[in-house]
Structure 1
């Protein structure tokens, strides 16, 4: 077996009116950009949801080091891997307590039972809790973990054994991701008994550094520091508040007024002023992300009867070569973006540097549309994100620019949008046509891009193109069961070539991540995965 191992802060009047804090308490306000869809990490795939749940209230068996991509022990102190790479034995941390809240008071500490409940619920559709509260776990299934985990065995109270069907070279990294957050089996049993299993998504209970207090949609989320956290040195804030603020200019105003001490996704035009402000800090790093346009390739869109022109490769090629990427990068990213040509960022190992874009060619694009039988004035719908993300500072402006680009080739483009949670839900259901979306890498492995976003298994999850190519799928599945990085790279490069040729997406840009915060904030690390993590963060006088 292989062994692995203060001062009171000003907050907005609205927040203070809801529940004033004791004057001596250490409070930190985070101006977030959107409302989470819920607080059960397994159900979701976006950073907005993970920041509000997994990164505040939960832990995982393995975890990523703050600010880095290395995997470190979490609720498992160590793990053993069998020589054939199919069996993982996790040795669980003892003395870990689940949160005590007004709605749940645990009678025991974290144990193997909680690990079994967490993963069996995602694997088994007949699990009693899942039958009582039907839901899907898109990230888990996108990665094929629901079929590859063949058995989870409780060896004893603090030892759990996972048996896989095939080798998964990124299994430990995958278990460190937000969706794999460990839930309380005891709390789940209480919810089942009370007939309220859906409360697992609205009244969360975890083992993490912060305890859920309250949530007002589109307004705020409140947490208190976990006094019983198993890593007490990481809890340096008494009260953590997410002030949900969708407008980027308002977020910056609140930061400057000390109404919040950390925010995210500043407009590129604001960066110089933020950098010059002596009361603020502006850490930044090259983004491990991709902003792109996804093309739904289904012959008929969900809820419609007319043929979908984007199912024709020639139409997708025409749309792709009509996009003026450089203008978008100049106007939308304003110096904080790098032109993208591939389905993942160039800092990801196995990236194929030989892949090139088709030339920007309006005349050729028109020819392709004509060959495909697309008439001038044909209408298509472009979905535009309602929020900023690390990979896109202004989706509305990008949509308007794409509307103009595609008008040049004879298409009438209608721009639509929805509230963020609805946007994701509808697009995963296949209602979208062309849409603006993106991704920040979650674990540093190529499969997190090539499998999670574009595989057949990811349809209904993060594969917004609904694209399924058997030859591509065969390559990425072969790469996932090989542990030699050079062999995996060869396979992933072949897959990248296939994907580029079939144009399910148009890569647009990789964005630099800038994280404005008060100079009084200490210990905050910019995450390569686009997460906002508050463990270990403090406020200085």
Structure 2
């Protein structure tokens, strides 16, 4: 790197890496099992072989990474694809991947990436600068012939079409230059996110609109079979550029009920599972064939209230609902202590968290007063949508919905619980068909922007592709968040995000419910699994003890 570029690289990259210091401190991998395993004397050859059966709560929706917005899809695409940069296992530090190094101009507008050579896509075609340019142009250009899909994450993280990226050019076969319209503090950490993995241009052209079910990447595993609603089967990429994975394959099985999934783990028909019910944890600990891994917490489960549906455009109604829900009881009954009450949409493990915010305390009488002041002294009827599958931040969503339903009834609100198949549920939320809905978010990159902008900015409240399920549109909040995106001053960004949380608390567009510590249960034979605070991880270094 040139000296000046290297210096600026340190300055700006710290905003995507060092700036994550607070989250990294809280987002340590569960070391106990890892360290125990590291001390075992096992030859390298003995680690190879076997198929990992991974039980999960729902099926993938799509496998075209840039068109994926749900964690169940990302669990799979993480194995099939690589990104230009990646996160260190177990935390959010940005490290090289398909790009082995990078340089930044003094003004922060030009990023030059030096790519790995000799890398092949699963279809045998070359990964090179042209492939990167093809992918970026497909993402950012709505007129691109293969711009099939909604490209929601591109809009969220890079400001739309084209957004903050002005152009992407191939300098030579293995050098790519990004030119930005404005400096972007989270740019590097955003590029490491799973949706921005690099696909085979040849495969995209071959499959067209069906590419989402025929993914071709450079990753450690290849798609072998996808039985919708049942399983996704991956096989090892024998020519993986980082060295072949230990596992011969992975089977992601969809088992919606946590209890049923846990029974399959106990019987030995699956090797690991996410979404362990908190009340099952004692059984895991007492079973000498199983072990427990706790995912570092970087999430929020919440109740969104749709501004476009009456009476949720009324701030007093939203504040009343905030006061009406007994979060402590929900955690006590349904999380077994593996959660803390939320008062902000940002988890306390992230830098920029505003602990000075005063939570809306559980107060039924206050809630009734606010509801009466809003013009609803006798309450009203509405619907409460609940997820059909367990999520890391909400392992038992139907029971949580019932608890909230009971709390709301105390202040006169009659909420009918509704649910749909997972893909349909997400689609309907994006379309704004709900009144209130349960949802949540696990951080993608360790930056506050990934929570506050993605979940609550007016730019993301777009009917048909929304991730702002409250359809909350605040010019005041928008101005703060855009200023924070463009700033390269860490102290200024921290101050701005704290201001943003004040605005959000004042407007009460949602009810922050919990920040959970998700539990993953595994057979003792599953070795070297390092849970990520981001909720998804590569599995190429996992192996099965024989």
Q: What runs of 5+ residues in structure 2 fail to find an aligned partner?
A: 11-47
* 1:473-532 deviation digits (Å, cap 9, x = unpaired): 111111111122111111111111000110011111111121111111111111111114
Matched, 1:187 2:203: yes
Residue 137 (structure 1) aligned to one of 151, 157, 174: 151
Residue 38 (structure 1) aligned to one of 62, 70, 75: 62
Supply the distance in 2 between the matched residues of 1:2 and 1:449 (Cα, whole angstroms).
30
Instruction: Work out whether residues 524 and 533 of structure 1, in 8 Å CA contact, stay in contact via their aligned partners in 2.
Output: no
3-state SS of 1:486 partner = helix
Residue 211 (structure 1) aligned to one of 214, 222, 241: 222
User: In the comparison of the two structures, how many residue pairs are matched?
Assistant: 499
TM, length-normalised to structure 1 = 0.90
* 1:345-403 deviation digits (Å, cap 9, x = unpaired): 11100101101112222222222222222252521111101111111111111111111
Instruction: Work out whether residues 61 and 74 of structure 1, in 8 Å CA contact, stay in contact via their aligned partners in 2.
Output: yes
Residue 2 (structure 1) aligned to one of 5, 26, 30: 5
Instruction: Work out whether residues 143 and 457 of structure 1, in 8 Å CA contact, stay in contact via their aligned partners in 2.
Output: no
Aligned to 2:27: none
3-state SS of 2:388 partner = coil
Aligned to 2:498: 493
Matched, 1:261 2:278: no
Question: C-alpha root-mean-square deviation of aligned residues, in Å?
Answer: 1.5
3-state SS of 1:487 partner = helix
Aligned to 2:333: 331
Aligned to 2:23: none
Q: 1:189, CA displacement in angstroms?
A: 2.6
3-state SS of 2:241 partner = coil
3-state SS of 2:103 partner = strand
Alignment of 1:471-486 (within 5 A): 471-486=476-491
* 1:331-356 deviation digits (Å, cap 9, x = unpaired): 12121111111111111001011011
Q: 1:422, CA displacement in angstroms?
A: 1.1
3-state SS of 1:77 partner = strand
Supply the distance in 2 between the matched residues of 1:533 and 1:34 (Cα, whole angstroms).
19
Instruction: Work out whether residues 118 and 182 of structure 1, in 8 Å CA contact, stay in contact via their aligned partners in 2.
Output: yes
3-state SS of 1:143 partner = helix
Aligned to 1:18: none
Instruction: Work out whether residues 208 and 229 of structure 1, in 8 Å CA contact, stay in contact via their aligned partners in 2.
Output: yes
Q: Given the superposition, is the C-alpha separation of residues 119 and 145 from structure 1 closer, same or farther in structure 2, using an over 3 Å criterion?
A: farther
Aligned to 2:430: 428
Q: What runs of 5+ residues in structure 1 fail to find an aligned partner?
A: 6-23, 101-105, 192-196, 302-307
Supply the distance in 2 between the matched residues of 1:398 and 1:350 (Cα, whole angstroms).
29
Q: 1:534, CA displacement in angstroms?
A: 1.0
Matched, 1:79 2:93: no
Alignment of 1:237-386 (within 5 A): 237-298=247-308, 301=309, 308-374=310-376, 376=378, 378-386=380-388
Q: 1:470, CA displacement in angstroms?
A: 0.7
Aligned to 1:175: 191
Q: Which runs of 4+ in 1 moved over 6 A?
A: none
Instruction: Work out whether residues 86 and 166 of structure 1, in 8 Å CA contact, stay in contact via their aligned partners in 2.
Output: yes
Alignment of 1:374-523 (within 5 A): 374=376, 376=378, 378-460=380-462, 461-523=466-528
Q: 1:179, CA displacement in angstroms?
A: 0.8
Supply the distance in 2 between the matched residues of 1:423 and 1:367 (Cα, whole angstroms).
33
Instruction: Work out whether residues 97 and 109 of structure 1, in 8 Å CA contact, stay in contact via their aligned partners in 2.
Output: yes
TM, length-normalised to structure 2 = 0.89
Q: 1:122, CA displacement in angstroms?
A: 1.5
Instruction: Work out whether residues 288 and 510 of structure 1, in 8 Å CA contact, stay in contact via their aligned partners in 2.
Output: yes
Q: 1:25, CA displacement in angstroms?
A: 5.2
Supply the distance in 2 between the matched residues of 1:68 and 1:493 (Cα, whole angstroms).
23
Aligned to 2:41: none
Q: 1:115, CA displacement in angstroms?
A: 1.0
Q: Given the superposition, is the C-alpha separation of residues 91 and 98 from structure 1 closer, same or farther in structure 2, using an over 3 Å criterion?
A: same
3-state SS of 1:471 partner = helix
Aligned to 1:122: 139
